[in-house]
Amino acid sequence: MTILCIDDDCDDQEIFKDCLALIDPSIKLLVALTADEAFEVLKHNTPDYIFLDDGMPKMTGRDFLAELKDQREKIDIPIIVCSTELSSYARRDYEQLNLVQKFLRKPNTFDGLYEAIREIIKKK
């Protein structure tokens, strides 16, 4: 299994990596700090999941998904939008793109994040 984590916070990426290592050490983690990096990663990889931070600078998660949708005819990758706070307006914008499988409020503990990720990927 391969997961792409798009998040501009290196600490959040490290915690995400640690959670995956506990869930299943064989999971391959691809990381991108920016949307531009994510597009480069996606040119050469097709992950099983994309975990996308909503609040990135320069290009938000919504902007990234809108551009991704423009670039690809079909997107079969489950996308999980992660955010500490997601307004109803933001959710509506995401839902209009029709690409998001799940919204994940970023838990404030390691155990909370571990359980949330484990619950999502165990269904695959």
Question: Is residue 118 within 8 Å of 23, Cβ to Cβ?
Answer: yes
| 18 has a pLDDT exceeding 90 | yes
Q: Please name the residues in contact with 113: beta carbons below 8 A apart, sequence gap of 6 or more.
A: 15, 16, 19, 106, 107
Strand partners, 31: 5
| 87 has a pLDDT exceeding 70 | no
Compute the distance between CA of residue 44 and CA of residue 115 in angstroms, rounded to an integer: 29
Q: If you average pLDDT over residues 68-94, what whole number do you get?
A: 76
69 confidence band (pLDDT: 50, 70, 90):
confident
Question: Is residue 95 within 8 Å of 79, Cβ to Cβ?
Answer: no
Q: What is the structure's pLDDT at 89? A: 67
pTM for the full model?
0.86
Helical packing angle, 35-44 and 61-71, nearest 10°: 30
Q: What are the residue ranges spanned by the domains of the chain?
A: 2-121
Express each pLDDT in 19-57 by its tens digit.
Answer: 999 999 999 999 999 999 999 999 999 999 999 998 877
Instruction: Give the side-chain half-sphere CA count within 13 A for 44.
Output: 5
- Beta strands, E only, 7-119: 28-32, 49-53, 79-83, 100-105
For 2-121, which CATH class?
alpha beta
**For the CA atoms of 26, 109, 102, 60, what is the dihedral angle to 10 degrees?**
-100
Express each pLDDT in 110-119 by its tens digit.
Answer: 999 999 999 9
